[in-house]
Amino acid sequence: VTGGARATGSELDRLLTLAEDDVAGRYTATVEPGWEIGHAVNGGVLLALVGKALATTFEGRRHPDPLAVSGYFLSAGQSGAATITTEIIREGRSMATGQASVLQDDPDGAPVERLRVLATYGDLARLTDEVRTTAEPPDLPDPERCLSASAGGAPGAVAAFIQRFDMRLDPATAGWALGEPSRRGVIQGWLRMADHREPDPLMLLLAVDAFPPVTFDMGIPGWAPTLELSAHVRAAPAPGWLRVRVSTRNLAGGLLEEDAEVWDSRDRLVAQARQLARVPALLA
Amino acid sequence: VTGGARATGSELDRLLTLAEDDVAGRYTATVEPGWEIGHAVNGGVLLALVGKALATTFEGRRHPDPLAVSGYFLSAGQSGAATITTEIIREGRSMATGQASVLQDDPDGAPVERLRVLATYGDLARLTDEVRTTAEPPDLPDPERCLSASAGGAPGAVAAFIQRFDMRLDPATAGWALGEPSRRGVIQGWLRMADHREPDPLMLLLAVDAFPPVTFDMGIPGWAPTLELSAHVRAAPAPGWLRVRVSTRNLAGGLLEEDAEVWDSRDRLVAQARQLARVPALLA
C-alpha cells in the first residue's frame, strides 16, 4: 500500500506510506527522526498514522475519510518502526466505525502499545453542502506580519519537528515566546507544511496537535502530555494556508482541556478537536 | 457487585447495580423501561452504565473515577438485559486506561454491540486543588423561574425519560418549546435527579447527554443521534443542583458538534463533553 494518488516526495506522505502486513488490517510504518517533541513522537503524528491505516482498511468500502477519531495515549512513541493494527467494528451505509492501535517494540522486542483509537469514517465528498456555522475564523494578521515559529529560536527538543511546518503565530498570542504570556489561554496562527504539501483530512489530524501547547500562553513552560484527544474532521480542506486556534478555559486539578479549531483558505471550519492533557509541573 | 455505599432506592443507582459475571471484567445489568428517547436508550444512560462497569473493574486499583470517556455508538440500545465487558489496557501510578463494550442480544439471541468505549480513570480526590478557570457558569434565573421540562407537555417518546429528572430550562433558551427557537444554538438550565439522588462522577456521564438536543434551538425538530461523545469529568460534584449548558457552533454537512458543560453548586466546572451528532432530517 502506498499513499496512492497522494504519494509524493512530501515528508508527511513519506510518514504515511504504509506497508501491508500478511495479517489483514495490519500495517507497518517507519517514523523518521524529527517527528518528536522532546522524547516522544508528537500525538498528531501518531493520529495521522493511525488515521491513514484506518483509511486504507476502509478505502475499498466507500468510507475513505475520518469523521471522528478518539485517541488514548498509552506510552511515548519513538522514531523507528511501528505496527498499526486495525479492526472494523461496524459498517453502515454511509459510515463505518473501527478500532486501531499503534505498537512499537521495546528493547527486548516485546510489543508496547503507544496509542489506541476508536474512529468513525465516512465520505466527506458525499456530505450535504449545508453550512450553518456561527463560529468565526480567527482574525489574524497576514502571514508575513506573524511570528515564524520555525525561523530559529525554537528549543532543540522541538526544532526538527517545527521545521517540518511553516507556522506563523499571531504576535498578539505569542507574547509567551518573549517571556510575556497573555494568560488568556489562546494561541493562534497560520499553518502549512514546510514543503507546501497541501492539506487533506489526514493532515488535519496532525494539525490539531501541532501547535505549541496552550499552557505556554498561561505562563506554564514544559510540555503538556495528552491523555486523550478527540478530533472531528468536518470538511476536506481547500488548498493553501490553514488557520489554527488552540484555547483552554479550564485548567484545574493538574489537568486542562485544549480545544483546537482549524479553518481552511475558503473560511470553512474543517476540523475541531479537544484534548485532555496534564499540566506540566511548574518549574518554580 | 452492588453500588456499594451508594446503593440506595434511587432510579439511577438501580440502573447502575451490576451483577458480576463468571468471566472477569464482565457484568450484567438491566435497563428498566423509561430510559429511552423514542426507540433508543439515551446515550448518557449507556455511558453511565459502562462508566460504572469500568469503575468496578478499576475500583480495587485506586482508580475509581472516570476522567475521560469516549464512546462510539454502534446501534440503538433497548430496555432489558445488557452485558458490559471491560478490559484494562494500561495501568499507571495515578491513572489507568481501559476499554469497554455494551452488548445486548438480538431477537435470535446473538449479541449486538451498542457502544464501544475507551476511557481513562483516576482518583478525583487525589488531584490538586489548583483551579484556574476562565470559563463562567451559565447565568440562570432561579429554578422556580425556569421552565420545568418534566411538568407535562413533553412528547410521549421522551415523557418517561424526562420524568426521571428535575430539569428547569432557562426561558431565554427555551423559546423552541413555544415554537420560537432563538437559533443561537444554546440551551441551558438546572438539572437534578427527580428523586434527589445527589450527583457523583457517574451521574455526570448521564448529565452531559440528558438535555434536549441543541438542534431544537436551531429550529430543527427530531432527535439528533450521537455518533461519538467524549466526556471529561474534572471534579467530583458537590451536592445540590447542577447547571448544564449545551451549545453548538458548527452545523454543517448534515452533522453538528454539541458541547455540554456541567457546573456544580459551588460553581466548579465539573464536566465538559463534546459529541458529533447527525442533524435530524428536516421535516419540510
pLDDT value of residue B209:
97
Grid cell listed for B10: 434511587
pLDDT tens digit sequence for B43-70: 999 999 999 999 999 987 789 999 999 9
Grid cell listed for A140: 489574524
* ipTM (interface predicted TM): 0.95
Cβ contacts below 8 Å, chain A against chain B, sum to 163
| Mean residue pLDDT across chain B | 93
Residue B127 touches partner A, C-beta closer than 8 Å: yes
Q: How far apart are CA B203 and CA B236, in angstroms?
A: 10
Residues in chain A with CB shorter than 8 Å from the CB of B227 are 67-68, 95, 120
A139 Cβ partners below 8 Å, 6+ apart? none
Q: Side chain identity at A98, as an amino acid letter?
A: G
Q: How far apart are CA B135 and CA A172, in angstroms?
A: 21
Determine whether the interchain pair A72/B70 forms a contact, defined as Cβ–Cβ distance below 8 Å: yes
DSSP 8-state assignment for residue A149? T
C-alpha distances (whole Å) from B128 to each of A253, B123, B205 are: 5, 11, 22
Q: How far apart are CA A121 and CA A55, in angstroms?
A: 8
* Of B208, B217, B163, nearest in space to B185 by CA: B217
- Lowest mean pLDDT: which of B1-5, B50-54, B131-135, B257-261? B1-5
DSSP H helices in B10-75: 11-15, 43-59
3-state secondary structure of B14: helix
Q: What is the mean pLDDT of residues B199-214?
A: 97
Residue A191 touches partner B, C-beta closer than 8 Å: no
Determine whether the interchain pair A118/B228 forms a contact, defined as Cβ–Cβ distance below 8 Å: yes
3-state secondary structure of B114: strand
Q: How far apart are CA B242 and CA B21, in angstroms?
A: 34
B249 close to B183: Cβ distance less than 8 angstroms = no
pLDDT tens digit sequence for B112-140: 999 999 999 999 999 998 899 999 999 99
DSSP 8-state assignment for residue A14? H
Smallest Cβ distance to B228: which of A116, A129, A230? Answer: A230
Q: What share of chain A is helix, strand, coil (3-state, %, to 5)?
A: 20, 40, 40
Q: How far apart are CA B167 and CA B193, in angstroms?
A: 8
**What are the pLDDT tens digits along chain A (284 aa)?**
444 444 568 999 999 999 999 999 999 999 999 999 988 999 999 999 999 999 999 987 789 999 999 999 999 999 999 999 999 999 999 999 999 999 999 999 999 999 999 999 999 999 998 899 999 999 999 999 999 987 666 677 788 899 999 999 999 999 999 899 999 999 999 999 999 999 999 999 999 999 999 999 999 988 899 999 999 999 999 999 999 999 999 999 999 999 999 999 999 999 999 999 999 875 43
Strands (E), chain A: 19-20, 26-31, 36-37, 40-41, 65-73, 80-91, 96-105, 111-122, 131-133, 147-148, 165-169, 186-193, 226-233, 242-247, 250-252, 255-263, 269-278
Smallest Cβ distance to A228: which of B89, B120, B133? Answer: B120
pLDDT value of residue A60:
75
Grid cell listed for B30: 438491566
Q: How far apart are CA A53 and CA B202, in angstroms?
A: 34
Give backbone dihedrals phi and psi of A202, rounded to 5 degrees, phi first: -70, -40
CB proximity under 8 Å: B 48-77 to A: 67-68, 70, 72, 74-75
Determine whether the interchain pair A127/B255 forms a contact, defined as Cβ–Cβ distance below 8 Å: yes
pLDDT value of residue B4:
44
Determine whether the interchain pair A269/B253 forms a contact, defined as Cβ–Cβ distance below 8 Å: no
Residues in chain B with CB shorter than 8 Å from the CB of A117 are 118
